[in-house]
Amino acid sequence: MIQLVFGLIGGLALFVYGMTILSDGLKKAFGDKIRNIIKVLTTNRFSGVLVGIIITSIIQSSSATSILAIGFVNSGLMTFTQSLGIIFGANIGTTITTQIIAFELTKYCLPILTIGFLLNFVCKKRIWKNIGLTLLGLGILFLGMSIMSEAIIPFADNPIVKDIFIKFSTNPFLGILVGVIFTAIVQSSSVGMGLILTLSSVGLMNLNGAIPIILGCNIGTCVTAILASIGTNINAKRTAIGHLIFNILGILLFLPFTKYFHSIVTLTSTNIMRQCANAHTIFNITSTLLILPFIGLFAKLIMKLIPNKGDEECDPFEMKHLDDHLLSTPSVAIDATIKEILETLEMTDKMIELATEGFFGKAELLDKIEKKEDIVDYRREKITEYLVRLMEQTLTHEESQKIPKLLHVINDVEKIGDHAMNLRNLARRKHENNLPFTGDSIGEIVQIHQTLKDMIKQTKDALSYIDVEKAKLIYDTEHKINNQRQQFKKNHIKRLQSKKCHHVSGIVFLDMINNMEKIGDFLTNIADAIVDEL
């Protein structure tokens, strides 16, 4: 009995550890492609399913893909309906792992480990090192399966043990329950499937007993996503519940036809392990094909089950793009951070507009700027904290290079907010002291402000798409704003000499154009980061 306990638990521990290393290796090798995969995502339901399959093949966990989808929705990177396609695809993608395990490569675990070790420790190129890490994980996974099989074999002929597993064949609801509970505990349907394949390989479980547990594994894997949705927005919660209901609906559709399903699966192979793997694959593909045409109705059903709680006012301090679930996929987390920085830049843009309009006459607008400054400072702090946490993740060289640049960019955006506050103070000074300004000076402030507006728009466009060519346009605009400041200073001196301008008004005028030119400098810093292949 001790041999069984330690063999089963120890083998399972190696299996789970191997899955983790396998996933890490694949993410390091191909994880930077996830951002590009998401970019091809459209409202087309079929492309969403394809994305779900690909991402799950990389991450090696449908639960992780579901959590990622929840993060996408919570951070505004995709809509709830788009996320459903990814979840449907994730259920298919997770069957790839089971199909690999079913090849019965346990006797080759040591050669696989050896090749993986050599690639990871000898090769210099990152891609080969990561492929080696992937093979190491696969070898450890198969080693764990081998240990579990050896521990179970002595009990395969035990009548008591056999009787326990026969009950799964005669009571499908018991099998479903076992699958749900086990997968919820280990938080991976792949681990559950690995154990099913191990038990079937030694003759302890037949296909009739395996099918209900396989169905249960699909429900159990949803628990992780549901836990991950706690504290997220309404659409992210809908994504998690949608995953659960999708799997439950699939099982309800299959249960009346279990006998026919069993017959079809037996035709696919004579090997029991392959039959179990095929049952897992056929179930997930079929349930997806049955529900996918009705994805719109399915989305409406979920929205009725989880309705909006009225039109709640959006919290201005809310960081809607920075989701903790995205940290495990750094390339996506970086995209989310850029979106948050863009929103912060948009807020500083509004501060500049309010200050300028307030300067020209609408003094009541100036009172709105200070709260926005507090929000900008808060957002800078939270974005910085998020990027620091992101640095603790496993990063590619390119990702590790981007994070310091993003830290500089958000600091530059915050400094733009500081100079917008300076503009507000100057506008307030103009109104409080009733300072007179000549038509020429007002016209020059309008000109340099228009140039600054153009520069901010160029920066937002370049940062939105990390577009180097658009970023280079900012340099020309900076040259223009510098020339304007120099020329307007000369014009101002002439006005002072001819006594056309009040000397205090002149100080405010110079400070206005100097602050706008300084904002241009910080926008140029952002352009530098983009040109440096942010």
pLDDT digits (tens, 9 = 90+) for 121-143: 999 888 899 999 999 999 999 89
Comparing 77 with 404, the larger pLDDT belongs to: 404
Given a cut of 70, whether residue 277 has pLDDT beyond it is yes
3-state SS, residue 1: coil
Length reported for the chain: 534
Q: Express as a percent the part of the chain with pLDDT over 90.
A: 53
Residue 274's alpha-carbon distances to 148, 206, 278, 281, in angstroms, are 18, 12, 6, 10
Please name which of 464, 320, 453, 308 lies closest in space to residue 386, comparing C-alpha atoms.
320
* Residues 258, 260: Cα–Cα separation, whole Å: 6
pLDDT digits (tens, 9 = 90+) for 13-29: 998 898 889 888 887 77
The pLDDT assigned to 458 comes to 96
* Residues 232, 71: Cα–Cα separation, whole Å: 9
Given a cut of 90, whether residue 429 has pLDDT beyond it is yes
pLDDT digits (tens, 9 = 90+) for 459-510: 999 999 889 999 999 999 999 999 999 999 999 888 888 888 888 888 999 9
The pLDDT assigned to 162 comes to 64
> At 32, which amino acid appears?
D
* Residues 410, 383: Cα–Cα separation, whole Å: 8
Supply the angle between the helices 207-220 and 189-201 in degrees, to the nearest 10.
170
* Residues 183, 244: Cα–Cα separation, whole Å: 13
pTM, two decimals, is 0.71
The pLDDT assigned to 248 comes to 95
Mean pLDDT of 431-455: 93
The pLDDT assigned to 504 comes to 87
pLDDT digits (tens, 9 = 90+) for 217-263: 999 989 888 988 887 888 889 999 999 999 999 999 998 998 899 99
Asked if 37 and 55 touch (Cβ cutoff 8 Å), the reply is: yes
Angle at 466 between CA 464 and CA 472, to 5 degrees: 110
Please name which of 203, 129, 116, 205 lies closest in space to residue 166, comparing C-alpha atoms.
205
**Exposed / middle / buried, residue 10 (Cβ in 10 Å: 0-12, 13-18, 19+):** middle
The pLDDT assigned to 279 comes to 96
Q: Express as a percent the part of the chain with pLDDT over 70.
A: 93
Contacts of 503 (CB under 8 A, 6+ apart): 496
The pLDDT assigned to 324 comes to 87
The pLDDT assigned to 32 comes to 64
pLDDT digits (tens, 9 = 90+) for 61-81: 788 788 888 888 877 777 888
What residue segments make up the domains of the chain, in order of their start? Answer: 2-305, 324-531
Please, where are the H alpha helices in 292-368? Answer: 295-305, 330-360
Handedness of CA 255, 257, 262, 265 (dihedral sign): negative
Output the average pLDDT for the chain.
Answer: 88
pLDDT digits (tens, 9 = 90+) for 350-377: 999 999 999 988 788 898 898 899 999 9
> At 402, which amino acid appears?
K
Instruction: Pull the structure tokens for residue 533.
Output: 């292949």
List own/partner pairs for 133-136 with CB under 8 A and 24 or more apart: 133/21, 133/24, 133/25, 133/28, 133/29, 134/21, 134/22, 134/25, 134/26, 134/29, 135/25, 136/21, 136/25
Architecture of domain 324-531: Up-down Bundle (1.20)
Secondary structure tally for the chain: helices H, strands E: 22, 0
The pLDDT assigned to 42 comes to 53
Comparing 164 with 514, the larger pLDDT belongs to: 514
Asked if 110 and 139 touch (Cβ cutoff 8 Å), the reply is: yes
Please report which confidence band the pLDDT of residue 312 belongs to, taking 50, 70 and 90 as the band edges: very low
